[in-house]
Amino acid sequence: MNNPLEGKIALVTGATRGLGKGIAVGLGEAGATVYITGRTLESDDRSGSLRETELAVTSAGGICIPIQVDHSDDEQVRLLFDRIQDEQGKLDILVNNVYSGVQVLTDASGKGFWESEPNFWDACNNVGLRSHYVASVFAARMMTQHQQGLICTISSWGGLSYIFGVPYTVGKAACDRLAADMAIELKPHHITSLSIWPGIVGTEHITRLAAQMRSNEATDPQSSVFREGYNWETPLLTGRVIAALAADPTVMGRTGKVQIVAELAQHYRLVDKNGDRPVSLRSLRFLIPFAIPALRKYSWLIPNINIPWSLLLLTTLGAPKV
């Protein structure tokens, strides 16, 4: 079936660029009608706009409805869901993706949390963690009426280990817990709640970061992964994975759990935009060449075996200590 999501109504928050744009395109190419939100409707000096994403979704064969929304304003979010209810009568898929902390994380890079103002937390977790909760409240009100639905909350490996700064990692760990705890209350209503972990995604921000690292001639292994684009994913892969989850009649079996994009791509036999299939960041095929860069050109020789979560938690997790 070429359009497994035909007739499905999806909402992707924060879809002017990056992951949100790729997710919207992935849902659109699977046949969904995709509502997208963001603060920038038309193109301006900043990269990305809702109109550009709308064009990309339409080009992929989907139907896209852009709505300008500031997710820091609960009333605008309420009106967004009222509009979807009035126009469609239902919502099948919510993707909690909106995030406004990219610039403040960049500005705080290399600093201790105490060297930034306390509103560093709000910049990371207001339009982000809190927005995901608010959108999920309104989505669940619609989905419970029909006793079906899928809520995907975009998180990251920062929920497992330190990366980018304290407000970021605490926020991502909270996203994972949000998805897990919502799943408990939504399961009796046949609504699936998942936390989605992409890998290293070549968004506009990450591409700029890689260029900066190249110009600074950073030599540590972590920097080299960014400089070389090693095992990168495009935003579209996350979109294709979420589309596959939405079309999977057994998806409820995954509810409340972290879902890794690369591992799901392998499970559903999906490829990325360029035809590649990146491996999970817990795969030996990623980890060994990550530590020994000379092996990257031979990574295909290394078994694609994922480190068990129990071992990963023992070796990687920095908090909480129990």
Q: Which of 234, 233, 232, 230 is nearest to 289 (CA)?
A: 230
Sort strands 63-68 and 191-197 into parallel, antiparallel or unpaired.
Answer: unpaired
Establish whether 133 is a catalytic residue: no
Per DSSP, the three-state class of 193 is: strand
Question: CA quadruple 303, 228, 159, 133: dihedral positive or negative?
Answer: negative
Longest dimension (CA), the chain: 57
CA distances to 32, 233, 266, 271 from 240, in Å: 12, 12, 12, 9
Residues 6+ apart with CB under 8 A from 23: 12, 15, 95, 97, 154, 235, 238, 239, 242
CA 108 to chain centre: 22
Q: Which of 132, 46, 131, 34 is nearest to 84 (CA)?
A: 34
Helix (H) or strand (E) holding 65: strand 63-68
Residue the block writes with tokens 């105490």: 114
Say which of 35, 99, 162, 168 is annotated catalytic: 168
Q: DSSP strand E in 198-291: where?
A: 258-260
Q: How many CB atoms lie within 10 A of CB 250?
A: 6
Helix (H) or strand (E) holding 315: helix 309-316
Instruction: State the DSSP string of 158-177.
Output: GGTS--S-HHHHHHHHHHHH
**Looking at residue 94, what DSSP letter applies?**
E
Catalytic residues: 168
